[in-house]
Chains A and B, each alone.
Chain A
Amino acid sequence: MSIPTQLKYTKSHEWVKPEADGTVTIGVTHHAQELLGDMVFVELPQVGRKLAQKEECAVAESVKAAADVYSPISGEVTAVNSGLESEPEKINQDAYSAWLFKLKPANAAELDGLLDAAAYAELLENEDH
């Protein structure tokens, strides 16, 4: 599975997509869903909630385990993908279209500190060894 080059990534396996309107869309990576296995439950943050960078803000649970999702940057939640609550398996089917929530960044400069696709690929490479 390729790692989309237009996205940014975190060490905790979230992906971040900067949108044209200045918001960012956030999900969990293909690698994360592969580690977790079949997803069975997703808990999303409240719209309007203000998140700090690296704050626990969502939970993705598979048949195997529960994983916390951390906000890659600080900001305010503007939308959540509530369809995932009834169809969490969409994360397994396509992790990069099954977004969890959108944020209005509090400090867009934080985006520059995230990993690009090459750096994320290197992180996965090192995890495997």
Chain B
Amino acid sequence: MLKMTPLNQTHRDMNAKMVDFGGWDMPLHYGSQLDEHHKVRQDAGMFDVSHMLPVDIKGNNVRDFLRQLVANNVDKLTLPGKALYSCMLTPQGGIIDDLIIYFLSETWFRIVVNAGTADKDVAWMLKQRDQLAPGLEITPRRDLAMIAVQGPHARAKVWQVIPGSQAATEELKLFQSTVVNQYFIARTGYTGEDGFEIILPAADAPAFWKALHAAGVAPAGLGARDTLRLEAGMNLYGQDMDETRNPLESGLSWTVDLKSERDFIGKQALLDTPVTQQLAGLILLDRGVLRSHQQVLAHLDGTEYQGEITSGGFSPTINQSIALARLPVQISIGDEVDVVVRDKKLRAKVVKYPFVRNGKVLI
């Protein structure tokens, strides 16, 4: 039996094509994935991301617990409402999950984790809590729904729908959040566009979704979510990284704080392990479509190097195929490589990502 979000029937009523996404019955698209992608880049689209799990951590000294639990430094969170992207690591430095931490008060932090990893994440947090901070209360919030409204006009459309929200959220900077009545509103997302991620009581989700739709926000499925995040150069857990990879070889060095004195789970392993691989962007020069797991071959100074595409696909905004690939660190931006696609080798160029941000092609 597949798990369902509070919006399951709403998706079906809107003729969504539903798919099994890691045990969740989720909308892939509502007709055309490409149209939904363009709608988000040019106007406003909304995604049901209620399969992701908010986890509330409450009690005295939550901050001190999180200093040890995650690789980024929660001391960067000084203003209430501020958010931080981080990895949670194994002692070996492998990525258990990537997550967003919201600082609400010194006695209440909220962490939003991926759907597929939610159970193991909570189990890991409880285990660490028992050892490091037994007084803390850790509560998975399956009573909440989460809707991402994304696109250049996303915020304005949310303001039309939630009374009083414009005044409360107009001044929010990226990675800041606030609460308006029953809505927890964060200026975050997974598309490379402006917008909000909104957490609300599950029972309110269908009416809120319909109100957004009436305000001109297009429903968008997991298909568009994937092409948008790939263009935005954002990692997908399970594809671009997992427990066998550390953040330093997964394009996530910027999320790891190795400078402060603070110790955290996985830190020693990261300091001890030489970085031999990197996550790089590829743009296809030939015709075709790059896909995950395709082999990448590079020749430099008479040596052959091998890598692998971790996420590949067609970029609707660039109208060409792009990919993230795990490559040896010897390969540099600007190098040309071969990608093995069926019985052919196609030429691709190593580029700096993100590929697209705020509607603009960057490569």
Q: A89 CA to B103 CA in the complex, in Å?
A: 46
Residues of A near B313 (CB, < 8 A) are 63
Contact for A41 among B28, B227, B287, CB less than 8 A: B287
Q: Which of A68-113 contact B (CB under 8 A)?
A: 85, 89, 92
Is there a chain A Cβ closer than 8 Å to B328's Cβ? no
Q: A43 CA to B316 CA in the complex, in Å?
A: 18
Question: How many A residues have CB within 8 A of the partner chain?
Answer: 13
In the complex, the answer to whether A85 meets B32 with C-beta atoms within 8 Å is no
Is there a chain A Cβ closer than 8 Å to B110's Cβ? no
Q: Which residue of chain A lies nearest to B226 when distances are taken between CB atoms in the complex?
A: A63
Contact for B289 among A37, A41, A89, CB less than 8 A: A41
In the complex, the answer to whether A37 meets B314 with C-beta atoms within 8 Å is no
Residues of B near A89 (CB, < 8 A) are 34
Q: Which residue of chain B lies nearest to A88 when distances are taken between CB atoms in the complex?
A: B314
Contact for B33 among A38, A43, A59, A61, CB less than 8 A: A38
Is there a chain A Cβ closer than 8 Å to B155's Cβ? no
Is there a chain A Cβ closer than 8 Å to B259's Cβ? no
Is there a chain B Cβ closer than 8 Å to A66's Cβ? yes
Given A41-B314, A63-B223, A85 contacting B287 (CB threshold 8 A): yes
Q: A89 CA to B32 CA in the complex, in Å?
A: 11
CB distance from A116 to the nearest CB of B (A): 28
Contact for A63 among B17, B287, B288, B314, CB less than 8 A: B314
Is there a chain A Cβ closer than 8 Å to B76's Cβ? no
Residues of B near A92 (CB, < 8 A) are 32
Q: Which of B190-247 contact A (CB under 8 A)?
A: 223, 227
Is there a chain A Cβ closer than 8 Å to B157's Cβ? no
Q: A89 CA to B17 CA in the complex, in Å?
A: 18
Query: Could you mark each residue 274-288 of chain B with 1 if its beta carbon is under 8 Å from any beta carbon of chain A, else 0?
Result: 000000000000011
CB distance from A113 to the nearest CB of B (A): 28
Contact for A43 among B34, B223, B288, B314, CB less than 8 A: B288
Q: A43 CA to B287 CA in the complex, in Å?
A: 9
CB distance from B224 to the nearest CB of A (A): 9
Given A63-B227, A63-B313, A37 contacting B291 (CB threshold 8 A): no
In the complex, the answer to whether B342 meets A37 with C-beta atoms within 8 Å is no
Query: Could you mark each residue 20-36 of chain B with 1 if its beta carbon is under 8 Å from any beta carbon of chain A, else 0?
Result: 00000000110011100
Contact for B29 among A37, A43, A85, CB less than 8 A: A37
B residues with a Cβ closer than 8 A to A are 17, 28-29, 32-34, 223, 227, 287-289, 291, 313-314, 316, 321, 342
9 of the cross-chain contacts (CB-CB < 8 Å) are A37-B32, A37-B223, A38-B33, A40-B34, A41-B287, A41-B314, A43-B287, A61-B289, A61-B314
A residues with a Cβ closer than 8 A to B are 37-38, 40-41, 43, 59, 61, 63-64, 66, 85, 89, 92
- Give 8 A-B pairs besides A59-B342, A63-B227 with Cβ atoms closer than 8 angstroms: A38-B34, A41-B288, A41-B314, A61-B288, A61-B314, A63-B314, A64-B28, A64-B223
